[in-house]
Amino acid sequence: MRRLILVCGLLVVGVLIVAAQAFGQEGAGEQPTSVSKVFDHFVVAGGPITWFVLIPLSVATIALAIEHCLSIRRSMVIPEQCVEQLGELMEQKQYAKALEFTAEDDSMLSHVIHSGLSEASNGFDAMEQAMDDTIEERAARLMRKIEYLNVIWNVSPMIGLFGTVFGMIKLFASIGSFGGNLDAGQIADDLSIALVTTFWGLLVAIPALVIFSLFRNRIDVLTAECAVIAEGLVSVFKPGTPPSPGKPNTAPNAT
């Protein structure tokens, strides 16, 4: 979360630097550029492609980042309370209660443990296979969840390029229609569409790529941690595990 906030802050600073450099020469010796002037240059001048496609994509990126920060975190995937509760149930050999508990809990760890306990009667190898399959399935589900960010960072530069091509076509068409005697203001308008759409395409794509990479790494880490914890919790079912005093050396049955 802190890394994401830092990245977003650096991007905001980058935008401000670009804006300052873009209007530094124009504003030299004059009044400082107003907020409305910046808005006109970086939003209004971008045309419908910026207004109705790229800016909504930037809002979607921010919304997805916030949602993923809330849902893809350790307290949701591997809740500490869940780990402690399952540890106590396994230690007390209350496997039926553990099966019931994991059926009601929606965390990845509970799903993994539940699939393993459900195969307890078929042996430890079947339990391991069931847990591995569940971990892969839940990890794939999380990866599909963040795939929208991957789509955004791939599509945004192409949309910006489309706006650039559109603006250049308009520019050359205007030059041709006026016989080469084109007003400087008209040239500026067409070039604004060409350049501002590229600017927004990159502004959307770069944060989306960074956020996607951060969450992909987070999913890998949480998935690996979940697998290790789950294996430790069900290790009592492993053949050859030393029995408790007065207990036979047999694998327990979850049912």
Full-prediction pTM beyond 0.85?
no
pLDDT of the residue at 7: 52
CA–CA separation, 1 vs 123, rounded Å? Answer: 41
Residues 98-118: pLDDT tens digits?
999 999 999 999 999 999 999
- Greater pLDDT, 198 or 191: 198
pLDDT of the residue at 229: 95
**Residue 244 falls in which region: left (phi positive, over 0), alpha (psi -120 to 50) or beta:** beta
Both tokens assigned to 5: 């906030």
188 exposure class (CB count in 10 Å sphere: 0-12, 13-18, 19+): exposed
**Taking 50 as the threshold, does the pLDDT of residue 48 lie above it?**
yes
CA–CA separation, 90 vs 207, rounded Å? Answer: 44
Q: What is the DSSP string of 24-55?
A: HTTTTTSPPPPHHHHHHHHTGGGHHHIIIIIH
Residues 14-34: pLDDT tens digits?
554 544 444 444 444 445 446
pLDDT class of 247 with cuts at 50, 70, 90: very low
Q: Where are the alpha helices (DSSP H) in the chain?
A: 2-24, 35-42, 47-49, 55-71, 74-77, 80-91, 95-104, 108-118, 124-177, 184-233
Domain residues of the chain, as ranges? 37-237
Residue 108 has, within 13 A of its CA and on its CB side, a CA count of: 30
**Taking 50 as the threshold, does the pLDDT of residue 244 lie above it?**
no
pLDDT class of 195 with cuts at 50, 70, 90: confident
